[in-house]
Every structure is written in C-alpha cells, then in structure tokens.
Amino acid sequence: MGVAWTIAAKDLRRRLRDRTAVLVALVLPFGLAYIFSLTLGDVESQGFEATYAVVDRDTGGHLPSEFEGLLERLDFVTMREAATEEAAETLADDGTIDAAVVFPSGFTRQVQAGQGGSITVISAPDAQIASLVAESLATSFASNLDAVGLSVAVVAEPGSPPDDALVERAQTVAPAAEIRTADADDRSASQSSFFAIGMAVFFLFFAVEFGVRGLLEEREGGTLSRLLVAPISPSSVIGGKALASFAVGLVSTTLLVAATTWLLDARWGDPLGVAMLVLGGVLAAVGVTALVATLATTTAQAGAYVSIVAVVGGLLGGTFFPISQAGVLGTIRFLSPQGWLMEGFQELAYGGTVADITRPLLGVFAIAAATGSIAWVRSQRMVAR
C-alpha cells in the first residue's frame, strides 16, 4: 500500500505542475457556473411585466371599470390610458402597450339584459405572451359574467326584465372553486445552485481521467517496464494511479462546493448527503474513466474516448439543462452516473435529506462498483502486456 501511495504522490505532483489539471478541475467548472448563473440568473430575476390599456366606450356602464380595477390589482400590470380604439391600436403598434381591451358601447346594458356582448383584445405584434395573458384575463372576466347571467336567468321569470337586485346578489356569490397560485421557490433550485452542481458533475469526469491514462503514458514512455522490474506489484501501480485520480476528484469537487456556496450563493443542501454523493461521484468517475481508458491503446486515444464519454454522459445526465421532465430522455439519464448525481444533488438542494437520496446513492455506487471492478481486471491485463 505504501508503494501505491508513493506512486499516487508522484502523479499528484506531476498534475499540480501541469496547469491544465487545475484549469479543468477548478477554474473551468467554477467559471462556467459563474457565467451561467450571471447571465441566466438575470433572466430569472426579471420576472414578467405587462402594460395594458382599457378602452371604455360603454358610457354609464360599470363593467369596464370593474375589469380595469381587476387589472390594477395585479402587481405585474402597468396601466396606460387610451381614449379610443384607434389610439389603443397606435399604442400597440409602437410597443407602448402590450395589449388593449375594448368594451363597446352599451356593453353593460346588453350583458344585464342577457343579450351578450363582445370584448375586443388588441395585441401588440411583439408581445405574444403578454397578449395571451390579456386575452386570458378577458376570457376569465367574461366567464364570470356568463355565470352571473346564467344564475339570474335560472331564477327570473321568462321574458321579464332583469332584476337589478338579483343581478347584484348574483355578483356577490362566491365562486364554487378558487384557484390559488404559490411560488415554488422551496422546491426549485436557484440558477446558481443548478449550474454549480451541473458544472461540478460535468468536469469531475475530466478531472479524474488521467488515472489509467497514466498507465498508457508510463508504457509509452518506457517507465512502466522499469517499475515492474522493481519489486513493485502491478496492483500497486494501478492502485497508485487510481488513488491519485480519486484524490484530485475529491479535492476539486470539495473546493467547488465550498467556492460556489461562498461566492455564488449556491445551495447544496444537507452536508452529509453532499459528502456521500461527492464520494460516490468521484468513485464512479474514476471507475468509468478508467474502464474507458483501458479500451484504448494509446494516450491520445484514451483521452478522446474519455472526452466522448464525459460529454455524452454530461448531456445525457442533464448537467447543462434540466431534463427530468423530458420524456424518454428523463428516464434514460439514469444510465449515466451524471444522471444519478444530478438527481441526488438537486434533491438535496430542494431541501431533501440523506434518506431522500437513497436511490441516487445506490445508483452511483453501483456504477462505481461495476465499472471499477471491470477496469481493475482490464488494467491488470494492460500492465501485464
């Protein structure tokens, strides 16, 4: 075991002198997480805003003012004045407003008489979402009027004029069901947290890839045969390479967790759960990259193989974009260790506990055990050749 530690220490010194290892293990993941959270975090914080106008041609009617009052109570809506339908079209065309709702002359009277009425929504060409919201609000308002009209029609005598008291009482009846909205902040990781997790998981597989690839370097440089001539077992050589990879992955991921928490305000969740996932993730990354590297015959080929597996696994695992709701892709992501890691880390970021990440932990450690075992056997054969 002492020989393995000596070989691992030698490899670690070489990697520290190699500035690219520091770049891949620390600088790149932190930098990309910072850029993503900075750019997309602004989009998240901007929220939705809309500017509307109400054109009231219903002289003496009260329904247009009721609808305008409804809009004014919405915190994302800014109201502008538009005296006529033509003025509203002009404001919509030049982008001053997102949409205008036009109430025609006699609208209130027609509705109260059960004759129906029409509401026109004028939309700005470049404000599709805000226009859809305005149309939805107008539709909801019209539906409420339909309910009131239906209630009055049911109890009123056929052919009799509308009873104002009855209409007023129907308008005060509470709806049968009320829709409430709530923010999902407690169940959603922030942009900073998501990209901190995603970049740490994605670059972990690049940070540890030099382990078995180091065996190929030793063989190509002729130093592997000299090591084996000495009283050093092949297991010690392989173990030393694996230990060096494990140490780099563990240290780099731990530093990323600390740096993104401190500098990017990322939320990783339960420390014990994070530590267990980091441990499993590093083991899985060492196992997968070592297995892939044993399939190559040269160092360059091993680097290419590992890069392909790391990139495909990262995309499949959802390290750049959430894919948990992406149908089949959301299911097959668990073929990659990155998918299990993202599932576990995000569950912790949501406020989950160690018990909540049992499946991700089992998935990650199972992949680590399977790939690590096969890689160990193949590495023994590689050293023996």
pLDDT of residue 289: 86
Asked whether residue 71 carries a pLDDT value surpassing 70, the answer given is: yes
Q: Are 351 and 267 in contact (CB under 8 A)?
A: no
Per DSSP bridges, beta strands 120-123 and 77-80 are: unpaired
Mean pLDDT of the chain: 79
Asked whether residue 176 carries a pLDDT value surpassing 60, the answer given is: no
CA 290 to chain centre: 30
pLDDT of residue 242: 83
pLDDT band at 366 (very low <50, low <70, confident <90, very high): very high
Phi, psi dihedral angles at 96 (to 5 degrees)? -65, -40
Quick one: tokens of 141?
């308002």
Q: Could you tell me how many residues make up the chain?
A: 385
pLDDT band at 228 (very low <50, low <70, confident <90, very high): low
Q: Which one has a higher pLDDT value, 231 or 58? A: 58
Amino acid residing at 354: V
pLDDT band at 124 (very low <50, low <70, confident <90, very high): confident
Asked whether residue 166 carries a pLDDT value surpassing 70, the answer given is: no
Q: Tell me which H or E stretch contains 86.
A: helix 85-93
Write out the DSSP string of 89-131.
HHHHHTTS-SEEEEEPTTHHHHHHTT-----EEEE-TT-HHHH
Q: Which one has a higher pLDDT value, 279 or 9? A: 279
The position carrying tokens 């499946």 is 359
Nearest residue to 229 (alpha-carbon basis) of 16, 45, 383: 383
The edge-to-edge listing of strands for the beta sheet with 120-123 is 77-80, 50-56, 99-103, 120-123
Give the mean pLDDT of 336-342: 90
Q: Which one has a higher pLDDT value, 282 or 179? A: 282
Quick one: tokens of 215?
């065996």
Query: What is the rounded distance in angstroms from the CA atom of residue 336 to the CA atom of residue 314?
Result: 8
Give the mean pLDDT of 354-362: 92
Number of helices and strands (H, E) in the chain? 17, 4
Query: What is the rounded distance in angstroms from the CA atom of residue 330 to the CA atom of residue 339?
Result: 9
Sign of the alpha-carbon torsion through 84, 87, 93, 99 = negative
**The pTM is what?**
0.62
Nearest residue to 310 (alpha-carbon basis) of 330, 291, 329: 291
Sign of the alpha-carbon torsion through 276, 308, 297, 13 = negative
Q: Tell me which H or E stretch contains 80.
A: strand 77-80
Nearest residue to 203 (alpha-carbon basis) of 15, 16, 20, 8: 20
Query: What is the rounded distance in angstroms from the CA atom of residue 371 to the CA atom of residue 359?
Result: 18
At 265-290, the pLDDT tens digits run: 888 889 999 999 999 999 999 888 88
At 101-122, the pLDDT tens digits run: 898 888 888 777 777 778 888 8
State the CB neighbour count (10 A cutoff) for residue 5: 14
Give the mean pLDDT of 125-149: 79
State how far the alpha carbon of 95 is from the alpha carbons of 126, 134, 136, 253, 274, in Å.
8, 15, 20, 48, 48
DSSP type of residue 27: I
State how far the alpha carbon of 208 is from the alpha carbons of 45, 153, 257, 288, 369, in Å.
36, 75, 17, 10, 16
Quick one: tokens of 349?
């970021």
**β-sheet bridge partners, residue 102:** 55, 120
At 211-224, the pLDDT tens digits run: 667 777 777 777 76
State the CB neighbour count (10 A cutoff) for residue 326: 13
State the CB neighbour count (10 A cutoff) for residue 10: 13
Question: How buried is residue 177: exposed, middle or buried, by Cβ count under 10 Å (0-12/13-18/19+)?
Answer: exposed
Q: Which one has a higher pLDDT value, 331 or 64? A: 64
